[in-house]
Structure 1
Amino acid sequence: MENIQLKKGVLELCVLMLVRKKDHYGYELVMSISKYFEISEGSIYPLLHRMTKETLFTTYLLESKAGPPRKYYKITEKGVQKLEKLVDEWKLFVSSVQDILDDWGDENSSEK
């Protein structure tokens, strides 16, 4: 995915979904999301800071075998509610875009 605006729009949803499954630290989130599309560390940390400030996450430190303690993010009940709302909005959005693509495809095939 090359479109930066699309990535920014969906990043909060992805982060919430991953942290709901299990607590993560920042770099771990970057690596998990990068399996699906390219993101930079610089895009995750400001998002995590904002989401923590909005009380979507709590944080705690855990000792690391490789370096300093890591800050882990744990989803709150407010974060779960936000995730559920974003998932509903995402499904509606994807369905609407698919309808537009299907209509465009129908129009294009009738021209042949």
Structure 2
Amino acid sequence: MGKQMTEMLKGTLEGIVLAILAVRPAYGYEITARLREQGFSDIVEGTVYALLVRIERRGLVDVEKVPSEKGPPRKVYSLNALGGEYLEEFWGSWGFLAERIEQLRRRINNPQQGE
């Protein structure tokens, strides 16, 4: 993943993780695996765990400790109502940005249409 993609991802990863949790609850490694399945192959677990700590502190997720067959209990994260509201706001912001960026791209690629 290039530096530009990494920088863009920093601003959106929180929303992406919340969207994953909107589908179903998951623990850290499972979230990382889902991200990789979606093509975010360069994301490391440490990045995901740090993000999970942040969204937990902000009250966007509920956490349940579930016994694990191997080692200590796992923290399973699920999206709560506040996280759902944040996710809706994220999708609105994302839609706005994506639309504006696409308009700019079209104007640059086809300057006569932008007038």
- 2:77 corresponds to which residue? 73
Q: Determine the structure 1 residue equivalent to 2:107.
A: 103
Partner residue, 1:16: 18
CA drift of 1:22 comes to 0.5
What is the correspondence of 1:1-112 to structure 2 with a 5 Å cutoff?
1-2=1-2, 3-35=5-37, 36-37=39-40, 38-107=42-111
More displaced 10-residue stretch of structure 1: 99-108 or 16-25: 99-108
For residue 67 of structure 1, report the CA deviation from its aligned partner: 3.6
Q: How many residues align?
A: 108
Distance 2:33 2:84 in 1: 22
1:6-64 Cα distance to aligned partner (Å, 9 max, x none): 11111011100011110010011111111221211121111110100110011111122
Secondary structure, in 3 states, of the residue corresponding to 1:71?
Answer: strand
The gaps in structure 1 that reach 5 residues or longer are none
My pick for the range that moved more, 31-40 or 50-59, is: 31-40
**TM norm structure 1:** 0.89
Gapped runs of 5+ residues in structure 2? none
- Cα distance in structure 1, aligned partners of 2:27 and 2:66: 10
Specify the SS of the correspondent of 1:65.
Answer: coil
Distance 1:65 1:46 in 2: 24
Q: What secondary structure, in the 3-state scheme, does the structure 1 residue paired with 2:111 have?
A: helix
Give me the whole-angstrom Cα distance separating, in 1, the residues matched to 2:56 and 2:72. 21
The 10-residue stretch of structure 1 (56-65 or 71-80) with the greater mean CA deviation from structure 2:
56-65
1:76 Cα shift? Answer: 1.1
Q: Report the AA paired with residue 29 of structure 1.
A: I
SS state of the match for residue 107, structure 1?
coil
Residue 77 of structure 2 aligns to a residue in which SS? Answer: strand
